[in-house]
Each structure stands twice: as C-alpha cells, then as structure tokens.
Amino acid sequence: MRGGLDDRPIPRPRPTIVMGAAALLDDLSAGELERLAAVVRERSGLAFGEARWPFLRNRARAMVARAGFTSTRRWLDELVASAERRGALYCEMEEALQVHETSFFRYPEHHGALREQILPGLVRPGAPRIRIASVGCSTGEEAYSIAMTVREGEARRAGPTPEILGLDVSRQALGLAVAGAYPESRLGTVPHEYRSRYFVPAAGALTVAPALRQMVRFRHHDIRRGFYLGRFDVIFCCNVLLYFTPVVKHQVLNQLADALTEGGYLFLGHAEGVAPSESSFVTRGLPAPFLYQRLGRHPATVALSRHA
C-alpha cells in the first residue's frame, strides 16, 4: 500500500525474563563492554570500538533497567545466550543500538544533482518508471526530501513520477516515517516555500501532505542480510555504512551494486569510511561529493557538470 509499510508489522519483541526491580546495582567493566561489543559485532555487523563504548554502556544501562534485571553481569550472560538464537532480549538490544540521526535535505548537493542532472537523463516519455531507494531512511526525512526534489524538478513533467522506497531495519523509526508528522523544529532545513506546499499543520506538528505521501512507500528491510527488492536507478545510502565493520561495509556495497541498474547512481554520506569498487563504479565528484555511477555496457549518458 502507498504511504505506509507494505508488510504486516511485527510487534516489538519484549524480554521474557524479569528479575526484580529495575535498580542498577553494578556496571559493566571494560572487559564486559569488550565482550558485549564482540557479541554485537559478530551478530549484527555493527562496529563498537572503544571510542563508542560510552554509547554502548548507556544503551546497556537503559536495557538493564527496562528488562528488570538487578545485575548488568547477569543481563549480559542472558544477552549472550539470547544472541545465539536471536531471541527477544538480543533483538531488543540490537534495536536500541540503532542510530536515527537524520534531517531533511541533509546533503543539499545530492538533491541538486538528482534534480538538475540525473533525473533529466532518466525520466523521459516512454521510459520505464524510475525507482529510487532511501536505504537507512530512519524516520523518513530523507525519503520525503527525495520526493520534494522530484516534484520540484522540471524532469518530472516528461514522464512518470519516480517510485521512492524508504528502507530501514528499525520498525519503531519506520512507524514515525509512515506517520509523517514532524515538529516544526525538525523542518529548519526545509525551504520556506516547501513548507506550505508539502506540509499541513496538524495537532502541533507539520504533517506530510497527501500529494507527497503517495509518492513514498516504506518497508522494513535489513541490508546486512541481502537486498532482494528488484533494481533501482538511484540509491541513497547516506551515513549508514559508517556504523558497520569493514567486512560488512564491503558486503553491503556489493549488494547495492547488484541492486542498481546499469548506469544507475549511488549517493553515499561523507563519513562512510569506504568507497565502491572501481571495477563496478565510476566517481562522479562535483557538484555532489560521494556520488558514484554504476558501470555497465549501456550506462546512462548523463554529464555531471562541475557547477550546480
């Protein structure tokens, strides 16, 4: 269905073990944090070096309190056992470790390249419908930003409006994306004229207008475990890979390459710590840094100028 999750929601897993009042009697030692980081790395591909241990400790403390454990060490033992079978306790910890930092038009240069240079070469009379994916879409700001960019582009008048699919591993974040309601403070990077055009005031928030909402679908998807959603002409995967181990980063990049059409485009964030293989992609530099085009026998002939 459009404007919503296209698979049935699964209730958020809850721990089945409760051990008394939610009082924190001890804390994780450095060795225990290292053990926790190793379990998460092995089971989820998320990287937690020592610099990220404070974040890991804070999330663990919250989990201990929520689950009702009175000992973090006992909680860690139960978590390790749960991780072996991907039980409820571990799944909730993995959900808690997701980072949902995002914003509207986070990389304006990406949207400028999409609107002015990429879409005109892809959207044309008689052409198949264009598909765009927002990987790691979190609470939906990026996917809706892509939709606004598409509607504002002159190229949209030449052919069918592209399909936009927002993907994320967090069902909690996707629920907020589907709702499409944001406090005004979250729209600071949205051009003023877009607010009245694409948002409707409702109950102390600004809600995505129906015309924009119908362009976007959201789906629960974990890119670490495969990418089987067909081919896309453009994929945004911004500030997602930076949280993974090097091995998982390369695995995901290979999956994204396979998911792109020949000549399709991949946008990455500025801090991913990895770049696509030169055997599969060519760098498209300015005006949108970290833009790559998929090589193929028939790449799209879109000349990206060095000036927006």
Let me know if residue 271 belongs to a domain.
Answer: yes
Residue 4 token pair: 């919503």
- pLDDT for 149: 94
Indicate whether 40 and 152 sit together in one domain: no
- Please give the C-alpha separations between residue 120 and each of 56, 125, 151, in angstroms, as whole numbers: 44, 11, 12
User: Three-state DSSP class for 41?
Assistant: helix
| Better pLDDT: 150 or 298 | 150
Of 69, 97, 125, which residue constitutes the final position of a domain? 97
Q: Which pLDDT score, from 0 to 100, does residue 198 have? A: 95
In a domain, 72, yes or no: yes
Confidence class for position 127, pLDDT limits 50, 70, 90: low
304 within a domain of the structure (yes/no)? no
114, 87: one domain: no
In a domain, 185, yes or no: yes
Identify the weakest region by mean pLDDT among 90-99, 131-140, 178-187, 210-219.
Answer: 90-99
**Is 302 a member of any domain?**
no
Task: Identify whether residues 60 and 194 lie together within a single domain.
Answer: no
Q: Are residues 258 and 190 in the same domain?
A: yes
Name the residue range of residue 20's domain: 1-97
Residue with the bigger pLDDT between 282 and 155: it is 282
For the chain, the domain total comes to 2
Whole-angstrom Cα distance, residue 217 to residue 203? Answer: 23
Q: Is residue 173 part of a domain?
A: yes
Q: Could you tell me if 78 and 112 lie in one domain?
A: no
Q: Is residue 308 part of a domain?
A: no
Alpha carbon of 184 to those of 240, 242, 271: distances in Å?
Answer: 25, 29, 28
Query: Are residues 122 and 4 located together in one domain of the fold?
Result: no
* Residues 119 and 244 reside in one and the same domain: yes
Same domain, 124 and 269: yes
- Report field, pTM of the whole predicted structure over 0.95: no
C-alpha 39/C-alpha 45 separation (Å) is 9
Q: State whether 76 and 209 are in the same domain.
A: no
pLDDT digits (tens, 9 = 90+) for 197-213: 999 998 889 999 999 99
Residue 307 falls within a domain, yes or no? no
What pLDDT does residue 267 have?
A: 95
Q: Which backbone phi and psi does 208 adopt, to 5 degrees?
A: -60, 130
CA gap 119, 279 in Å, rounded = 24
pLDDT at 29 over 90: no
Do 115 and 263 have their domain in common?
A: yes
Q: Are residues 56 and 140 in the same domain?
A: no
Residue 232 and residue 176 in one domain: yes
What share of the chain in percent tops pLDDT 90? 36
